[in-house]
Structure 1
Amino acid sequence: MRLVASDIDGTILGHDGKISDRTIRAFHACRDAGVELVFVTGRPPRWLYPLQEQLGHSGTVICSNGAVVWDLEADRLVSAKTLDIATVLEARRIIKDLRPSARFAVETLAGFHLESGFVENESSELLAEFTPAPLADTLTDDDAVVKFLAIVREGTADEFLAEVRPAVGHLASVTHSAPTVAMLELARPGLNKAVTLAGYAAALGIDAADVVAFGDMPNDIEMLRWAGHGYAMASGHPDAISAAGQQAPHFDDDGVAQVLEARLAALGAPLS
């Protein structure tokens, strides 16, 4: 175990926005043992504060499902893989034809654009910070899109994914990670967490066989398959569980911490 790569939401971070003390201790013990830590998330860089405030993490974070590599200590962009505006608008057209009720948003390197209806709660903080408007009106050629989002209020995310992925797969990769919302996340074709994580590990001279990865949702599937030791949370999505080679205990039972504690013990490393 030379590198631990972990998803954040639903894997180490709960709905209450907290990382458990046990999990924090396990990550600190990994760091003390010389194990590299990298967090691999669907979140954009502006939402990484739990890692800083609760874990004291100051290293690299792979954000936006692999589209962005962010240096947390320097608070700067390391690299990005983006979608061009024409592709975003064409994917939007196709999805809108399939699901007229769909609403859309994009995450760019500079901020967030959303259309009217994307956020259901009109009192949302998002609407206080960002003004809804058609993407075709607000996006410019200077906008570097790292994630394109589509949401519907009916059906499940799995159903929405099964309908949309075949129709736009030539334009973008499609996945989802929201457990209770039918929202899809689109990025550059062929891009996923595993692609960027593999590049990061290679730059450190670390093979997949020496990587332990944790995740819980479909956007983690490729990463869990790539890692030599991929653990899906027992509380995770069935597709993630079936894709992973191994299973970590339920999130509520500090599953990530349990696995790390056992692996550190096998290495003879002390737990902090």
Structure 2
Amino acid sequence: MRLIASDLDGTILHPDETISARTVRAFHAARDAGVEIVFVTGRPFRWLGPVRRAFGHLGTVICSNGALVYDLEAELVLDAKTLGTGAVRDARSLILGLEPGARFAAETTRGLYLEPDFVDDVGHHLLEGVVPARFPMRRLGEEGVVKFMAKSLRYTADEFLEAVHPAVGHLVAVTHSAPGVAMLEMARPGVNKAVALEVYAAGRGIAAEDVVAFGDMPNDVEMLGWAGHGYAMGSGHALAKAAAGRVAGSLADDGVARVLEDLLGARAARRP
């Protein structure tokens, strides 16, 4: 174990925006043992307050499902894989043909743009965004879209993904990560957490077999399958569990901390 890659929401981050003291201790113990840590999240870099509060300015975070890499210490965007406005416009049109009641949002390297009524049941964080009557496509093109979102009140998240993916899969990568909300998250084709994590690890000379990864939702599937040791949360989505092959305890039971404690204990026992 040379690198730990962990999702945030539903994996180590509770709905009240806290990370347990036991989890914080486990990550600090891993870092003290020389293991590198990277958080890999669907969140935009503007919503990393819980990480800062729990760990301080702890290195690099892979954000927006792998579309953006952010240096917490320097408060700097290191890399962004953006989606063209043509793809945004076409995907929006195709989705509306399947779900006329869909509402949309676009996250850029500088801000968040929401269509009216998008924030009904998504969560209080989105209230920080701008709410224009229509997307300012020119501005989206200038800033670079890292995540395009579509929300449905008619489908479940899995149903919405099943309906939409065949129509837009040639334009965008599609996944979802918000429990209880039918919100699809779209990015440039080929962008996902695993691709960004592989580049990050390779830059440090770390192979997949030396990576331990934790996640709980479909947007973690590629990462959990790529890592040599992938753990899905016991409280997670069935697709995450199938991809990982290993299941940690639930978020409520500090599942990630328990796995790390066991791995670090076994590591210490092997040392002469």
Pairwise TM-score range, normalised by the shorter structure: over 0.9
Structure 1 segment 72-83 matched on structure 2, within 5 A: 72-83=72-83
Does the C-alpha gap of structure 1 residues 257 and 57 become closer, same or farther in structure 2, counting only changes over 3 Å? farther
Q: Secondary structure at the match of 2:252?
A: helix
Structure 2 equivalent of residue 34 of structure 1 = 34
Gaps of 5+ in 2: none
Opposite residue 204 of structure 1, the aligned amino acid is R
Q: Could you tell me which amino acid in structure 2 is paired with residue 155 of structure 1?
A: Y
Equivalent in the alignment of 2:142: 142
Question: How far apart are the structure 2 equivalents of 1:85 and 1:202?
Answer: 31
Indicate the residue corresponding to 2:114 in structure 1.
114
- Are 1:85 and 1:139, in contact at CA under 8 Å, matched by a contact in 2? no
1-structure distance, mates of 2:43, 2:140:
23
Deviation of the 1:140 alpha carbon: 4.5
**2:240 aligned partner:** 240
Return the offset for 1:131.
Answer: 2.5
Equivalent residue for 1:105?
A: 105
Matched position secondary structure for 1:253: coil
In the TM superposition, residue 16 of structure 1 has moved relative to its aligned partner by 1.3
Maintained 8 Å contact 2:122/2:181: no
In the superposition, the TM-score normalised over structure 2's length comes to 0.95
Structure 2 contact 113–129 (Cα < 8 Å) conserved: no
Is the 1:113–1:138 contact (alpha carbons within 8 Å) kept by the matching residues of 2? no
Name the structure 2 match of 1:92.
92
Q: What is the alpha-carbon distance in structure 1 between the residues aligned to residue 156 and residue 266 of structure 2?
A: 41
How many equivalent residue pairs? 269
Q: Kindly, what percent of the aligned residue pairs are identical?
A: 61
Q: SS in structure 2 opposite 1:231?
A: strand
How do 1:148-167 and structure 2 match up within 5 A?
A: 148-167=148-167
What is the rounded CA distance, in whole Å, between the counterparts of 2:55 and 2:6 in structure 1? 13
5+ residue gaps in structure 1? Answer: none
- Aligned-partner Cα distance in 2 for 1:69–1:171: 22
Moved more, 122-131 or 254-263: 122-131
CA offsets, 1:194-218, max 9 Å, x none? 0000000000000000000000000
Moved >4 Å (runs of 4+): 121-129
| CA 262–90 in structure 1, closer or farther in 2 if over 3 Å, else same | same
* RMSD, aligned CA: 1.7
> Partner of 2:21 in structure 1?
21
SS where residue 234 of structure 1 aligns? Answer: coil
Query: Are 2:60 and 2:70, in contact at CA under 8 Å, matched by a contact in 1?
Result: yes
Return the alpha-carbon distance in structure 1 between the equivalents of residues 16 and 146 of structure 2.
27
* Counterpart contact for 1:89–1:136, Cα < 8 Å: no
Residue correspondence of structure 1 range 168-247 to structure 2 within 5 A: 168-247=168-247
The TM-score with structure 1 as length reference comes to 0.95
